[in-house]
C-alpha cells in the first residue's frame, strides 16, 4: 500500500491545511505541463494521495490499513472477505480479461481531457481593483483540420474486420482448471472497434494537437497572493476531441514599490521634514485612486499614522474597501549651516531650557505602537 503521507511530504499528524498546502506545492512541481510529460505518473500519484488524505472518512480508512483507492489490495488489513468477484479479478490479471467477454465493449475513442495548471503574476493595483491577466499555456487543443474526429476530411472510421466492432477478441486457453474462454482488447483496433484508415495528417488520428495559446483570466478585486482560480473547460482537450478539462491558475502578486498590503489595508511610509511634523503641513501623495491630499497634524510624532478611509484593497465579494494608512517618518537633519544651528540653539533655549532631566524608561514611549511595520520603517530609513 502506497504511503500517501510520504508522497505529499507531510507527517501523519498533519492538519487539513498542511495537507492542502503540501498538495498545492507538489501539484505545481509535478504537473506535466510544467515539469514535463515524464512526470505524469508522479502527478497522478500526488492526486491519488490528496484524494484520500483530504477526505476525513477516506483518511480514517487509510490510517486503519485500507487504501480507499484500491480496497481489494488492502483487504488483508481491513479483514475483507474473499468472494467470486475477487476470483474474477485474479483470473483477469492472469488471462487479460473476463470470462467470455461479459460486460466488455468497445473503448470509446473520445476521452475526457485532463486538468491543466498555469500561473500569472499581477501587480498590487490589479489586486486592489481587479482586472484581466493573460496566462500562456502549452497543452492539447482540438485539431482544427479534422474537428476532433481523427480522420481525414470526407472519411470516417470503419468497423474493425477482426473483432467485428466489439473491441475485444476471444480465445481459448488451456489452464490447470481446463480450457477457458478469455477476452482481451483487439490488437488491430486497440479495443476501439473501429479503424481510422485515413488518419488526419495534423493529429495523426488523435483528434487533438499540442498548441500554445493565451487565456484571459478575470482577476477578482481583493484577491490574495498565492490564490488559485478555476476556469472550467479551459484545460486539456481529450483524445478524439473529448471534452476539455479545467484550467487552474495560480495567482502571484508582485511587490509594490510604494505600498505594502496588510489584509484589506494598504500601508506606506511618508518621510517629512522636522518642521512639518512640528508645525503641521498639507501635502499630496500618489495613490491607486490618483493624487490625494493628506494633512500632517501639528506636533506629529514618529510612528504616528494618518488614515485615508476607503482607499485600501477592495474586499472580496463586496464593494467595500479597506483604508490607506500613511506612517509618518520624521527626517532629522544631520548637517546644519551656521544660521540653521543658531536658530536651533535659540529654539532649544526657548523650548527646552526648563528640561532639567531626561525621561528614562525600560521601553520607548511609543513601543506599544510598533509591530509589523517597525521593521519596514527601519529598512526604509
Binding residues, by number, are: 143, 146, 160, 163, 186, 189, 200, 203
C-alpha cell at 296: 500632517
Q: Got the DSSP string for 95-156?
A: HSS-BTTTT--PPPS--PPPPEEEEEEE-HHHHHH-EEEEEEEEEEEE-TTTTTS-B-TT--
Residues 160 and 167: their CA atoms lie apart, in Å, by: 8
What are 117's strand-pairing partners? 248
- Nearest one of 349, 91, 126, 81 to 221, comparing CA atoms: 126
Write phi, then psi, for 139 (nearest 5 degrees): -150, -175
Write phi, then psi, for 3 (nearest 5 degrees): -90, 95
C-alpha cell at 364: 520607548
- Nearest one of 254, 255, 256, 267 to 323, comparing CA atoms: 267
CA 140 to chain centre: 20
**Beta-strand relationship, 116-122 and 247-253:** parallel
- Give the residue numbers of the binding site for Zn(2+): 143, 146, 160, 163, 186, 189, 200, 203
Residues 367 and 78: their CA atoms lie apart, in Å, by: 60
* R_g of the chain, CA atoms, integer Å: 34
Could you tell me which residues come within 8 angstroms of residue 263 by beta carbon, excluding any fewer than 6 positions away? 313, 322
C-alpha cell at 381: 530609513
The CA angle 123-129-133, to the nearest 5 degrees, is: 50
Amino acid at each position: 500500500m502506497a504511503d500517501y503521507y510520504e508522497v505529499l511530504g507531510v507527517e501523519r499528524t498533519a492538519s487539513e491545511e498542511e495537507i492542502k498546502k503540501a498538495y498545492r506545492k507538489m501539484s505545481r512541481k509535478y504537473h506535466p505541463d510544467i515539469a514535463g510529460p515524464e512526470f505524469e505518473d508522479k502527478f497522478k500519484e500526488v492526486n491519488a494521495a490528496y484524494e484520500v488524505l483530504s477526505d476525513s472518512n477516506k483518511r480514517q480508512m487509510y490510517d486503519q490499513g485500507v487504501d480507499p483507492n484500491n480496497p481489494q489490495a488492502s483487504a488483508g488489513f481491513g479483514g475483507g472477505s474473499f468472494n467470486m468477484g475477487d476470483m474474477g479479478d485474479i483470473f483477469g490479471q492472469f488471462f487479460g480479461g473476463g470470462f467470455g467477454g461479459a460486460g466488455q465493449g468497445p473503448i470509446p475513442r473520445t476521452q475526457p481531457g485532463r486538468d491543466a495548471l498555469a500561473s500569472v503574476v499581477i501587480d498590487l493595483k490589479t489586486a486592489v481593483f481587479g482586472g484581466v491577466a493573460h496566462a500562456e499555456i502549452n497543452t492539447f487543443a482540438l485539431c482544427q483540420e479534422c474537428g476532433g474526429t481523427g480522420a481525414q476530411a470526407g472519411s470516417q472510421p470503419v468497423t474493425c474486420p477482426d473483432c467485428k466492432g466489439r473491441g475485444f477478441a476471444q480465445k481459448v486457453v488451456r489452464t490447470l482448471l481446463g480450457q477457458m474462454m478469455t477476452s482481451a482488447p483487439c490488437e488491430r483496433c486497440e479495443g476501439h472497434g473501429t479503424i481510422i484508415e485515413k488518419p488526419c495528417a495534423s493529429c495523426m488520428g488523435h483528434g487533438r494537437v499540442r498548441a500554445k495559446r493565451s487565456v484571459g483570466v478575470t482577476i477578482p478585486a481583493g484577491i490574495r497572493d498565492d490564490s488559485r482560480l478555476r476556469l472550467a473547460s479551459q484545460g486539456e482537450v481529450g483524445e478524439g476531441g473529448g471534452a476539455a478539462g479545467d484550467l487552474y491558475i495560480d495567482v502571484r502578486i508582485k511587490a509594490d514599490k510604494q505600498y505594502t498590503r496588510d489584509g484589506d489595508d494598504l500601508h506606506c511610509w511618508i518621510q517629512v521634514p522636522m518642521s512639518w511634523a512640528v508645525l503641521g503641513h498639507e501635502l499630496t501623495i500618489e495613490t491607486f485612486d490618483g493624487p490625494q491630499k493628506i494633512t500632517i497634524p501639528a506636533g506629529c510624532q514618529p510612528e504616528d499614522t494618518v488614515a485615508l478611509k476607503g482607499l485600501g484593497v477592495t474586499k472580496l465579494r463586496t464593494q467595500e474597501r479597506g483604508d490607506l494608512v500613511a506612517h509618518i517618518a520624521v527626517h532629522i537633519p544631520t548637517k546644519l549651516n551656521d544660521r540653521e544651528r543658531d536658530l536651533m540653539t535659540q529654539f532649544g533655549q526657548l523650548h527646552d531650557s526648563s528640561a532639567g532631566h531626561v525621561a528614562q524608561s525600560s521601553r520607548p514611549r511609543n513601543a506599544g505602537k510598533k509591530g509589523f511595520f517597525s521593521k519596514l520603517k527601519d529598512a526604509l530609513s
